Copies of this chain bind each other. A is one copy, B any other.
Amino acid sequence: MTRAEATEAPEVTAGARRLYNSAVVVYAVSAAMELGLLDEIRRNDKVDLVAFATDNTLDRNIVSAIADALAAGDVVTRDPGSDLVCRGGEFDGVDHASPFFYWLTRGTSRLLSRLPDYASDRTPPTQPDEDPWGRDMRAVAIASRTASERFFNQTLRSELAGVDFTRVADLGCGSGDRLIMLLNMREGARGVGVDIASPALDLAHEQTGRAGLRERVEFFHEDVTTMPARPEFADVDLLTCFLMGHDFWPRDTAVRTMRMLRDAFPNVRHFVLCDECRVPEPFTLDSTIFTMGFMLAHAGMGKYIPAIDEWHSVFEESGWRCRAVVPSGVPESNVVFHLTPLER
């Protein structure tokens, strides 16, 4: 390259810098959430980083570098050279959304980094006990639980306010937190949890035990889409299924799975199905939180995410009537379908 050519080369623009630095801030938010730094700032408005590192047996330099990156995004403010960080202008919004940041980076970054491999049909090596897509499923479960607490559970509770149920089955029950919440809503109600991930079920056993609910709940280690009907399903009157309905798709298998659920739970009266839906609008940097990362990750895994209309096209054909569609608020592309069984 000659000097003349160098002069004509493009510049690294402000836009490129902001994209790059924003990505670094997101890693820092994710780390600060896991290390409890966000909790500490939320409680106290200001935190001494040296005391925080000492109290939590953490490396001071790493905590300091994380704080510098948080300050770049105005998540905290920090005077140069000071160990004190204060709540920044973006703190509340970023802290509130932090489970989605955590899902993206700690949970899903390896998958997203490897998109070229998946696009080229190369399968990068994973260790035997790892997720085949390289995700950190513990982080995904934590993100999912925290997001449920902050965003979905209130919608679910509202939707069930006028609904009687005595036995609930949660499909894709994960850590068991939703079952615990549901059983605590109705005295004497019993629960069934189904999940494909045994580490999640171990956690669910533990959590329900700690909540004093072990006698009221049974767990099955099964793939929801292929599980057999069971005697324990016979008197289930409420089905819930959060953030896994897209695994039923493409359409033909979704129809088959939804019909199977109708048959496997013959006495079900309500089915609350909550999932991310494909949105028709193009994405921008101002798009709803979570959705774009969710879509890109699922494209990488070859999984189809249906739009609301596609879901509607499936319900009647598979034995369900849609009684209500409730936006869950955050993420905005997340929708709760309240279904009831069609008469046969």
- The interface of chain A, by Cβ under 8 A from chain B, is 1, 3, 6, 9-31, 34-35, 57-59, 61-66, 68-69, 71-74, 78, 80, 89-90, 92-97, 100-101, 104-106, 109-110, 112-116, 118-121, 125, 127, 136, 149-150, 153-154, 158, 280-290, 292-293, 295-296, 299-300, 302, 330
The reply to whether A59 and B17 contact each other, CB–CB distance below 8 Å, is no
Selected from B66, B149, B296, the residue in CB contact (under 8 A) with A115 is B66
The reply to whether A19 and B26 contact each other, CB–CB distance below 8 Å, is yes
The reply to whether A25 and B105 contact each other, CB–CB distance below 8 Å, is no
DSSP class of A's interface residues: helix, strand, loop or mixed?
helix
The reply to whether A287 and B17 contact each other, CB–CB distance below 8 Å, is yes
The reply to whether B93 and A62 contact each other, CB–CB distance below 8 Å, is no
In the assembled complex, the Cα of A254 lies from the Cα of B116 at a distance in Å of 39
In the complex, which residues of chain B have a beta carbon less than 8 angstroms from the beta carbon of A287? 17, 21, 72
Residue of A29, A116, A290 ringed by the most chain B CB atoms within 10 A = A116
The reply to whether A105 and B94 contact each other, CB–CB distance below 8 Å, is no
In the complex, which residues of chain B have a beta carbon less than 8 angstroms from the beta carbon of A25? 19, 285
Q: List 17 A-B contacts (CB under 8 A).
A: A11-B93, A15-B89, A15-B94, A16-B96, A18-B286, A20-B290, A21-B283, A21-B284, A21-B285, A23-B23, A27-B296, A59-B121, A62-B115, A66-B296, A66-B299, A68-B295, A71-B282
The reply to whether B27 and A19 contact each other, CB–CB distance below 8 Å, is no
**Given A61-B302, A283-B68, A283-B72: A154 and B296 interface contact (C-beta under 8 Å):** no
The reply to whether A16 and B153 contact each other, CB–CB distance below 8 Å, is no
Residue of A12, A66, A104 ringed by the most chain B CB atoms within 10 A = A12
In the assembled complex, the Cα of A21 lies from the Cα of B61 at a distance in Å of 28
Least CB separation from A130: chain B residue: B125
In the complex, which residues of chain B have a beta carbon less than 8 angstroms from the beta carbon of A114? 106
In the assembled complex, the Cα of A101 lies from the Cα of B302 at a distance in Å of 24
The reply to whether B10 and A95 contact each other, CB–CB distance below 8 Å, is yes
**Given A21-B283, A64-B299: A30 and B94 interface contact (C-beta under 8 Å):** no
